[in-house]
A = this chain, B = another copy of it.
Amino acid sequence: MIFGFLLFPDLEELDLVGPWEMVAMWSQYADGPEKCLMIAETKEPVRCSNGMVIQPHVAFEDAPRLDYLLIPGGFGTREQVDNQRLIGFVSEQAKNCKAILSVCTGSFILHACGLLKDKKATTHWLSLEHLRKFKDVEVVEERIVKDGNIWTSSGVSAGMDLALEFIEHEAGDATAGSVQSFAEYYPSGKNYGTFHTDPKAPGYLTRES
């Protein structure tokens, strides 16, 4: 099994690296995918939204057939939805993938590939309205949304919750628990400021509080 992670300019760092960490730990310590690869249009270094610079492992043209593909979000998605090489790559790989996952505004790339047609999906709370403008997607305000083999999540840090839920789905509760313990992913759950009770906050958050 090969797990691909899509890179493009101005992706949001944690959208990518949160799930990368969980999946890579699954791979290394808990019999997960044999290979985890970061894949970009070319092998040139990719500058992320906050300035981190990543060297891709492989370019589109040399990428193997993927079993899983994760697509991060970030400001770069606004440009990438019109990048026919990237949309073509994702669409082509999607035909064979067991599952496709997106974090944050990565869902707009899935949409541009036609992968959200008549599906439930979500995105960063600041982009929910924009996603609702597409009449062929049912936008839901959950932290993680699974519809068939398409998984989407809310913003940035939600990719870690997405990854663990996905690992549980693929490999069971004990395996997800093992990854969670290695990553020591037991967040304090502390809320700062007042956003978590703000009417603008996404439904999954205000329903809980």
Contact = CB atoms under 8 A, between A and B. Distances in A.
Nearest to A198: B181
B177 A195 contact: yes
A195 B194 CA distance: 32
A155 interface: yes
A28 interface: yes
Contacts of A188: 143-144, 161
A36 interface: yes
A88 interface: no
Contact of A20 (B13, B178, B202): B13
Contacts of A183: 14, 155-157
* Most chain B CB inside 10 Å of its own CB: which residue of A27, A125, A191: A191
A140 to B, nearest CB: 15
Copies of chain A in the complex: 2
B174 A193 contact: yes
Interface string A172-209: 01111111111111111111111110000110110000
Contacts of A28: 50
B191 A196 contact: no
Nearest to A47: B55
A187 B189 contact: yes
Contacts of A168: 192
A20 B184 CA distance: 18
A45 interface: yes
Interface string A27-59: 110000000101000000100001111110100
Nearest to A53: B55
16 contacts: A13-B20, A13-B21, A13-B24, A17-B52, A20-B50, A54-B55, A125-B184, A143-B188, A144-B188, A155-B182, A155-B184, A156-B185, A174-B192, A177-B193, A179-B192, A187-B187
Top 5 A-B residue pairs of the complex, sorted by shortest distance between their CB atoms:
A177-B193, A155-B184, A24-B50, A176-B192, A14-B21
